[in-house]
Amino acid sequence: MSTNPLDNKAQAWSALFSEPMSELVKRYTASVGFDQRLWRADIDGSLAHAEMLAAQGIIAAQDLADIRRGMAQIGEEIESGRFEWKLDLEDVHLNIEARLTQLVGDAGKRLHTGRSRNDQVATDVRLWLRGEIDGLAALLADMQRSLVELAAQHAETVMPGFTHMQVAQPVSLAHHLLAYVEMFARDAERLADLRRRTNRLPLGAAALAGTSYPIDREQVARSLGFEALSQNSLDAVSDRDFALEFAAFASICMVHVSRLAEELVLWMSQNFGFIDLADRYCTGSSIMPQKRNPDVAELARGKTGRVVGHLMGLLTLMKGQPLAYNKDNQEDKEPLFDSVDTLRDTLRIMAEMVGGIVVKPEAMERAALRGYATATDLADYLVKKGLAFRDAHEVVAHAVKAAMQQGLDLAQLPLATLQGFHAAIGPDVFELLSLRGSLGTRNGLGGTAPAQVRSQIERHRARLA
Ligand code: ARG
């Protein structure tokens, strides 16, 4: 058995170091506590690198066989929790490489030929993130499906649409829910787009300048499923813009989730009473026995803060770094990991919770009736009878004022009273003043009419099938 230069950390660098690292510095500089979750990507990347080295005649076929055997065992050790992670060995890369050399000897020492931890870590993070992106894409689709299926039951359920949080015009609940489907669909597009830029291979950049070994980067890219090679070695090891893009995507997506969560919280409150959330997503109060609190929705809203914070953290991490690799970049991992974990759990729980929403259509309808939501319809009616819109607007303002004074809805005013505001008003007005009548007239693309909403539901179903 040969000696292993990675037996302790000072020796991992070189014989140049004569003094051991202090415990504090060791802890401060180590990343193994969090970057060990990159282990599978690290092993996959190393195997692809070793296969290429063997194919190029840079290491022997026997070395490759030894490396494969060692890595298979390391993979098992890690999966079963038997692997001994050492702080002394700083990070996931050195831990795995040291164990490999312990297991297979010299072949392990040859693995690092033609690469550096700088291109290795950039490769690992991209590989890992690519896998997470695919998982998140599936969850975003589930989230959309869950909203679409709830919407499918409510194309005719009328609720108030709001502007300024004031009752504005009637919309269907389905239309409201489908607004979120549009947001999540754009999030999915953003995710697919940033996946392409994440999926480029940095390996081959070595420390910063490339390598003098006759490596075959195309082969490594093919075996790892990267769709392109990074074209500049300095850029390859130093930029983390793929992580920034991901954090920006995650932030936008969490902001969408947060708006939905906020609405669910409002809708469940006694003042709205629009919906009920299943008990399993609520908690009680330790002091007020009557309480059922929408904690899951509130936390989804609250966790948006940390994900947006991670975007700020990552942007700030990059902004002052000179080319090429700097140790600063080790700080990219925790915010990225936490963004992925938070978004994943949030999408999963929100999609489930949406599926369990109990809608109270009467409460929604009552609320829509309270705010003169069809006033615009009356104005539009008068325009169709020949009035200029501004004049019609004025006539309706008077009608609404009168109705308010009498505590009535517009549709409850007698025809004669309405005609007192303008002679052009006829008995056909009542159809429009009803919530459903109003809904039905907004029948252009993107409008809230049930026919439009149903065709949107079909489009989404086909798209998400
Ligand atoms: N743990 C390091 C990181 O996450 C790996 C790269 C270290 N490279 C170096 N030259 N110190 O960035």
Given 334, 365, 396, the domain boundary residue is 365
Alpha carbon of 327 to ligand 1 centroid (Å): 6
Give Dmax over CA atoms of the chain in angstroms.
104
Does residue 390's CB lie within 6 angstroms of at least one atom of ligand 1?
no
Closest ligand 1 atom number to CA of residue 329: 12
Let me know whether 31 and 102 are in one domain.
yes
Annotate 367-394 with b (16+ C-beta within 10 A) or e (fewer): bbbebbbbbbbbbbbbeeeebeeeebbe
Same domain (yes/no): 395, 329: no
* DSSP-assigned states of every residue in 276-295: E--GGG-B--SS-TT--B-H
- Give the CA distances from residue 132 to residues 38, 136, 340, in Å, rounded to whole numbers and listed in that order: 12, 6, 7
DSSP code of residue 204: T
Residue 276, φ and ψ in degrees, nearest 5: -130, 145
Q: Are residues 109 and 123 in the same domain?
A: no
Contact in structure between 211 and 115 (CB atoms under 8 Å): yes
Co-location of 106 and 150 in the same domain:
no
Per-residue confidence (pLDDT) for residue 315, from 0 to 100: 98
91 lines ligand 1 (CB under 6 A): yes
Are 222 and 135 part of one and the same domain? yes
359 and 389 fall within a common domain: no
Helix 92-104 crosses helix 61-79 at what angle (to 10 degrees)?
120
Sign of CA dihedral 430, 435, 440, 441: positive
The reply to whether ligand 1 has any atom less than 6 angstroms from the CB of 330 is: yes
What is the reported pLDDT for 282?
86
Q: Residue with the nearest Cα to atom 3 of ligand 1?
A: 330
Domains identified in the chain, total number? 3
Q: Of the listed 18, 80, 164, 212, which one is catalytic?
A: 164
Known active-site residue 146: no
Range of the domain at 460: 371-464
Mean pLDDT in consecutive groups of 10 residues from the start of the chain, 465 residues: 64 78 94 98 98 98 98 98 97 98 98 98 98 98 98 98 96 98 98 98 98 98 98 98 98 98 97 93 84 93 98 98 98 98 98 96 95 93 96 95 93 94 94 93 97 98 97
Residues 147 and 248 in one domain: yes
Both 345 and 427 in one domain: the answer is: no
- Residue 285 a catalytic site member: yes
Q: What is the CATH number of the domain that holds 24?
A: 1.10.275.10
Question: Are 428 and 384 contacting, i.e. CB atoms less than 8 angstroms apart?
Answer: no
Does the reported pTM lie above 0.85? yes
Which atom of ligand 1 is the closest one to the Cα of 325? 10
CB 117 near ligand 1, within 6 Å: yes
pLDDT given for residue 387 in this prediction: 96
121 Cβ below 6 A of ligand 1: yes
Nearest CA to ligand 1 atom 2: 330
Question: Are 234 and 287 within one domain?
Answer: yes
Number of alpha carbons in the 13 Å side-chain half-sphere of residue 365: 13
Same domain, 193 and 335: yes
Tell me the CA–centroid distance for residue 48 and ligand 1, in Å: 20
Query: CA 398 → CA 371, 379, 405, 418, distances in Å?
Result: 15, 11, 11, 10
Please report the pLDDT score of residue 4 as a whole number.
77
| Alpha helices, H only, 320-449 | 333-355, 361-370, 375-384, 389-406, 415-421, 429-433, 435-441
